[in-house]
Structure 1
Amino acid sequence: MNYNLLRAKEVFFIMVLSTGLFNHVILIPMLLESAARDAWVSVLASFFPFLLFIWMVYYITKNTEQEKITNWLKHRYGKFLAALFVLPLLLILFVHASITFLDTSYWAEIYFLPTTPSFLVSAVLLISCYWLSTRSLKVLAIMSTIVLPLVVFLGFFIMSVNTTQKDVEYLFPLFLNGYAPFLKGIFYALSGLTEIFVIILIQHHLTQKIKFKDIFWLGLVLIGLTIGPLSAAIMEFGPVEARNFTFPAYEEWKLLKIGEFISRLDFLAMFQWVSGAFFRIGLFLYIINQYLNKRKNKFFLPFLFLIIYGTTFLKLDTYDINKFLYLYFLPFCLILVVTVTTVLTFLVYLSKRRENKPLEKS
């Protein structure tokens, strides 16, 4: 039995946990910074260009017969072009894993473990992620089917309990500062949503043909995971105050109050965040190891994790990380991912056209 083969639903569960963390937590401050009150409308509007991106991902997976994308490119366009396409995407995954690791470590240290040495908090997180990245994809899938329902339940729990704390009037009026912030917000929303390109990198692990509706529903869920905490933060704190928070999604847990005696259940947010971080870092490093470690060197993966661990000694704070994301990394990611996906779609089209020409003549 091949433990690296997955069904489409299992990929859905893994992707919602890994990509969902970024869209649900880390991306929110960038959206508020770029579009403020208009951010929630920007996320809704991003659905239309995102739909085109979903179609391109589906077109690539369908017409490459879900073959490993590097092998497909090598056979038709050569090794150089295969490396040119895949290496930048793997670099993006590595930086995303590093940022997730830093954000999670700092957040746990600041809010829950202020007296615990930071190197110890980071080490425990890293060892856990390393263990997960050394498992098979089937193990990740099985674990995700257990963890995701609990994470979703907690999300709906905090959403329903905090209903009395929300003021819908904070969502309006829109476009007070023109349409520039709204358009800027679409740009940042897409920088998180287009992360579904990961499907292309793991398509060869699927036992079933990926259907358009599978990717479409995944896209809708990711949009929902983005707009939910974003709109809640605006309604609960107002657009100005929500913009000042480093982790608005976590601050929503601090408002939770049930009756007179139950409050401060924000430790449950740790389960949500750490679950997403484990799967995100574990999955991304697993993919990088599968593509780059051709000789199955047992030291390659530990070396990658040591590099990530080394970033903790840079003494960056959350402000520096968010500034790096906002000004440089997210714009770079969106432009690169869209460019690579678009060109790859064109190459797949050319390849299919060449393959179909003899059939047309006969």
Structure 2
Amino acid sequence: MNYNLLRAKEVFFILTLSTGLFNHVILIPLLLEAAGRDAWLSVITAFFPFLLFIWIIYYINKNTNQENISDWLKKRYGKLMAALIALPLILILFVHASITFINTSYWAEIYFLPTTPSFLISSVLLISCYLLSSRKLKILAIMSTIVLPMVVFLGFFIMSVNTTEKDPEYLFPLFLNGYVPFFKGIFFSLSGLTEIFVIILIQHKLNQKIQFKQIFWLGVVLLGLTFGPLSAAIMEFGPVEARNFAFPAYEEWKLLKIGEFISRLDFLAMFQWISGAFFRIGLFMYIINHYFNKRKSKLFLPFLYLIIYGFSFLKLDTYDINKFQYLYFLPFSLIIVVSITTVLFILVLLSKRREKAPLERS
């Protein structure tokens, strides 16, 4: 048995932390911008087309025998096809890692370390992520099994304590501005949920086959990580005020109060966010290094991190980043991910039929 390979639940732990950060924090202000009060219903409705995407991911995983997807494509369709499939997905991961890095650095500086030089905050975050992504994936998996339960506990903690601050009436009435915002909300919800395509990129690192129900429950968890803080933000602040916040999920921590003497425990939100950011950036950069750095150069990964570090000097604020994601990146990435996944599904289907044809003639 190769102990460097992962179990299915370890992969899902990593993805819950990495994709969970995006769905739980970064995506919510964009959903509120797109759909306003209707956003919570958009998230629920998005799960139905997402089920089809889950099945496609499962089909690809099952019928490629969990091989390295790039190697599988090279054997059957050539290097060009392998590059056309892998390169856009890798580029999307790199942009996601960069956005997560900039957002996390900016958030830590504004809310917790306003007197600390920004370059120092960025440097500490970058070095920590580099140390994660330069190790074996098994190490990330083991760490995720330790960190995720604590993150989940804090999530349920803030959800239960803030119950008295929630007013369900803020969730209604729906469709005040027609149905267009509702459908836009579905579109942006899918941009976060479809990130489970990462399973295809690391499937060769697993020591067991993934079952459909496992991917299904991962999808349910990711849906819950979006719906929970999104609906809570609307119920606690109202759709208009929640839309004005840069990070509504973090603002929910400021409402926390236990008795008369315990409040302002929002520093616990830092543990949640930093944990997700470490695993998200670390995982994505590990995948990029794994697919591009075939010669195992020790300078390739540091070079990529230096590029990301350079973005921190652009002095982009949350408004600029959210505008870039809302208008360009998330629509583009969703279209690319769905298109490439569909093409890959067709290629796998054709390959399977080719393999069956000689058997049927014999």
- Tell me how far apart the structure 2 counterparts of residues 303 and 2 of structure 1 sit (CA, whole Å): 30
In structure 1, the partner of 2:147 is: 147
Shift of 1:137: 1.1
- Tell me how far apart the structure 2 counterparts of residues 303 and 20 of structure 1 sit (CA, whole Å): 27
In structure 1, the partner of 2:161 is: 161
In structure 2, the partner of 1:6 is: 6
SS at 2:208 equivalent: coil
In structure 1, the partner of 2:261 is: 261
Shift of 1:178: 1.0
One-letter code aligned to 1:223: L
TM-score (norm 1): 0.99
SS at 2:202 equivalent: helix
SS at 1:46 equivalent: helix
SS at 2:260 equivalent: coil
5+ residue gaps, structure 1: none
Report the RMSD for the aligned CA atoms in angstroms.
0.7
Report how many aligned residue pairs link the two structures: 362
One-letter code aligned to 1:184: K
- Tell me how far apart the structure 2 counterparts of residues 35 and 155 of structure 1 sit (CA, whole Å): 24
In structure 2, the partner of 1:115 is: 115
> For the Cα contact (< 8 Å) 1:3–1:137, is it kept in 2?
no
TM-score (norm 2): 0.99
Shift of 1:4: 3.6
- Tell me how far apart the structure 2 counterparts of residues 94 and 204 of structure 1 sit (CA, whole Å): 20
5+ residue gaps, structure 2: none
Q: Structure 1 residue 25 and structure 2 residue 41: aligned?
A: no
- Tell me how far apart the structure 2 counterparts of residues 166 and 333 of structure 1 sit (CA, whole Å): 34
Shift of 1:64: 0.3
In structure 2, the partner of 1:277 is: 277
> For the Cα contact (< 8 Å) 1:29–1:246, is it kept in 2?
yes
Q: Structure 1 residue 214 and structure 2 residue 217: aligned?
A: no
In structure 2, the partner of 1:238 is: 238
In structure 1, the partner of 2:15 is: 15
- Tell me how far apart the structure 2 counterparts of residues 61 and 120 of structure 1 sit (CA, whole Å): 41
In structure 2, the partner of 1:326 is: 326
Instruction: Please give the residue correspondences for 1:77-226 in structure 2 after superposition, counting only pairs within 5 Å.
Output: 77-226=77-226
Shift of 1:299: 0.1
One-letter code aligned to 1:163: T
Query: What is the identity percentage for the equivalent residue pairs of Structure 1 and Structure 2?
Result: 82
- Tell me how far apart the structure 2 counterparts of residues 193 and 30 of structure 1 sit (CA, whole Å): 14
- Tell me how far apart the structure 2 counterparts of residues 138 and 198 of structure 1 sit (CA, whole Å): 16
Poorly superposed stretches of 4+, deviation over 3 Å: 1-4
- Tell me how far apart the structure 1 counterparts of residues 171 and 131 of structure 2 sit (CA, whole Å): 43
In structure 2, the partner of 1:67 is: 67
- Tell me how far apart the structure 2 counterparts of residues 86 and 4 of structure 1 sit (CA, whole Å): 23
Shift of 1:360: 1.1
SS at 1:67 equivalent: coil
- Tell me how far apart the structure 2 counterparts of residues 3 and 272 of structure 1 sit (CA, whole Å): 29
One-letter code aligned to 2:181: P
In structure 1, the partner of 2:342 is: 342
Shift of 1:2: 4.1
Which string of whole-angstrom CA distances, capped at 9 and with x for unpartnered residues, describes residues 104-143 of structure 1?
0000000000000000000000000000001111111110
> For the Cα contact (< 8 Å) 1:3–1:136, is it kept in 2?
no
> For the Cα contact (< 8 Å) 1:34–1:184, is it kept in 2?
yes
- Tell me how far apart the structure 2 counterparts of residues 207 and 238 of structure 1 sit (CA, whole Å): 47
- Tell me how far apart the structure 1 counterparts of residues 354 and 210 of structure 2 sit (CA, whole Å): 23
